[in-house]
């Protein structure tokens, strides 16, 4: 048996070696020594037999704590958004005279024989478009402030919208409507006492010329524009708001049939038409 002094010296040396295991990168193996039965039956986790692995000597490993994501300044809320959907702003109608006191105006903006038509209503002192724009036509020679009979122009200005007519039933116009037949005409003879009025044939010498009102598709749906209601000879007659034919008119205002019927349903008594050159 080894004398006790020598065993004590071995333990001192082993303790010195284990103390150097705190240095990164050094793996310590215990020196071989006589083991008693109690030592061999020790638990594998005994600190005297297995040193804890340490990081590599070349690149020491540094454990980094996860960086927390930045918090939003205003945390999201599960409550419903209070944002209110905005209603698109209605288009403003320009060109209606300030002297107009009606609540509805059919605005006709002409450029040559072509025109843009809008149904406008007064809202808090401003005219806003409620229908349209619709694209149609005016006289073949445009719009004039000095309309004359047969000059192929449409009169400029603001006029009342009167009753309607056509071979079919009233599409919804809130006003007078008459159904046309082959005898219905509009007198355009400046020399007649019936100038610029609705009459029936035969003329029996009462006029020399008149516009037939049974005319399809132009007059399938039509409305009288109250121009020259004083019936001044030669100032123009038979100005209607009627179905568009795809080209300039003899002096009327025209838009597509579906648009025309929509405007007629929109109108209320007292509606006006403003025609701008």
Average pLDDT along the chain:
81
The parent domain of residue 257 ranges over 104-276
Instruction: Measure the N-to-C terminal CA separation of the chain; round to a whole number of Å.
Output: 131
Nearest to 132 by CA among 93, 87, 164: 93
Asked if the model's pLDDT at residue 119 lies above 60, the reply is yes
C-alpha of 225 from chain center: 33
Residue showing tokens 């692995």: 53
C-alpha of 160 from chain center: 32
Q: Residues 112, 142: contact at Cβ < 8 Å?
A: yes
Q: How confident is the model at residue 69, as a pLDDT?
A: 58
Is 135 inside any structural domain? Answer: yes
Give the mean model confidence (pLDDT) for residues 237-262. 98
Sheet containing strand 184-187, edge to edge, reads: 198-200, 184-187, 210-212
Q: Which residue has the higher pLDDT, 37 or 248?
A: 248
CA-to-CA separations, 30 to 4, 13, 33, 91, 118, in angstroms, rounded: 20, 10, 9, 93, 101
Nearest to 25 by CA among 43, 63, 51, 44: 51
Q: How confident is the model at residue 87, as a pLDDT?
A: 47
Asked if the model's pLDDT at residue 181 lies above 80, the reply is yes
Asked if the model's pLDDT at residue 91 lies above 70, the reply is yes
DSSP state of 139: B
Is 30 inside any structural domain? Answer: no
What token pair was written down for 19?
A: 């103390």
Q: How confident is the model at residue 114, as a pLDDT?
A: 98
Is 5 inside any structural domain? Answer: no
Q: Can you name the residues that pair with 187 across neighbouring β-strands?
A: 210
Q: Give the long-range contacts of residues 180-188, CB within 8 A, separation 24 or more.
A: 180/213, 180/214, 180/219, 181/214, 182/212, 182/214, 184/212, 184/213, 184/214, 185/210, 185/211, 185/212, 185/213, 186/210, 186/211, 186/213, 186/237, 186/238, 187/211, 187/237, 188/149, 188/237, 188/238
Q: How confident is the model at residue 46, as a pLDDT?
A: 42
Q: How confident is the model at residue 90, as a pLDDT?
A: 72
For 125-171, the pLDDT digits (tens) are: 899 999 999 999 999 999 999 999 999 999 999 999 999 999 999 99
Q: How confident is the model at residue 24, as a pLDDT?
A: 42
For 61-81, the pLDDT digits (tens) are: 445 555 555 565 554 444 444
Is 44 inside any structural domain? Answer: no
For 23-65, the pLDDT digits (tens) are: 344 444 444 444 444 444 444 444 444 444 444 444 444 455 5
C-alpha of 233 from chain center: 49
Q: How confident is the model at residue 3, as a pLDDT?
A: 45
Give the mean model confidence (pLDDT) for residues 238-253. 98
Is 266 inside any structural domain? Answer: yes
Is 127 inside any structural domain? Answer: yes
Give the mean model confidence (pLDDT) for residues 198-202. 98
C-alpha of 66 from chain center: 48
Q: Residues 236, 227: contact at Cβ < 8 Å?
A: yes
Is 143 inside any structural domain? Answer: yes
Q: What are phi and psi of 265, to 5 degrees?
A: -70, -30
CATH number of the domain that 161 lies in?
2.40.440.10
Q: What are phi and psi of 149, to 5 degrees?
A: -55, 125
Stated pTM of the model: 0.69
DSSP helix/strand/coil, 184: strand
Count: domains in the chain: 1
DSSP state of 258: H
Give the mean model confidence (pLDDT) for residues 89-115. 94
Is 204 inside any structural domain? Answer: yes
Give the mean model confidence (pLDDT) for residues 198-227. 98
- Report how far residue 255's alpha carbon sits from residue 253's, in angstroms, rounded to the nearest whole number: 7
CA-to-CA separations, 69 to 62, 63, 66, 75, in angstroms, rounded: 21, 18, 9, 13
Give the mean model confidence (pLDDT) for residues 264-276. 98
């Amino acid at each position: 048996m080894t004398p006790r002094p020598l065993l004590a010296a071995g333990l001192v040396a082993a303790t010195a070696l284990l103390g150097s295991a705190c240095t990164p990168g050094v793996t310590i193996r215990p020196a071989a020594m006589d083991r008693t039965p109690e030592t061999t039956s020790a638990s594998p986790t005994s600190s005297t037999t297995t040193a804890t692995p340490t990081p590599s000597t070349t690149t020491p490993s540094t454990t980094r704590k996860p960086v927390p994501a930045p918090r939003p300044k205003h945390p999201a809320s599960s409550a419903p958004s209070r944002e209110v959907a905005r209603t698109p702003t209605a288009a403003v109608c320009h060109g209606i005279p300030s002297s107009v006191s009606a609540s509805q105006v059919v605005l006709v903006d002409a450029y040559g024989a072509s025109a843009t038509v809008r149904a406008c209503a007064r809202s808090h002192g401003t005219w806003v478009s409620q229908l349209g724009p619709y694209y149609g036509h005016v006289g073949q020679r445009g719009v004039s402030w000095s309309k004359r009979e047969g000059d192929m122009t449409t009169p400029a200005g603001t006029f009342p919208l009167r009753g309607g007519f056509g071979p079919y039933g009233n599409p919804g116009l809130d006003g007078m409507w008459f159904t046309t037949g082959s005898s219905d005409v509009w007198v355009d003879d400046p020399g007649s006492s019936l100038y610029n009025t609705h009459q029936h044939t035969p003329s029996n010498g009462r006029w020399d010329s008149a516009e037939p009102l049974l005319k399809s598709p132009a007059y399938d749906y039509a409305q009288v524009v109250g121009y020259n209601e004083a019936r001044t000879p030669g100032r123009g007659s038979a100005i209607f708001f009627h179905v568009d034919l795809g080209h300039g008119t003899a002096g009327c205002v025209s838009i597509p049939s579906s648009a025309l019927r929509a405007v007629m349903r929109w109108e209320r008594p007292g509606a006006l038409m403003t025609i701008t050159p």
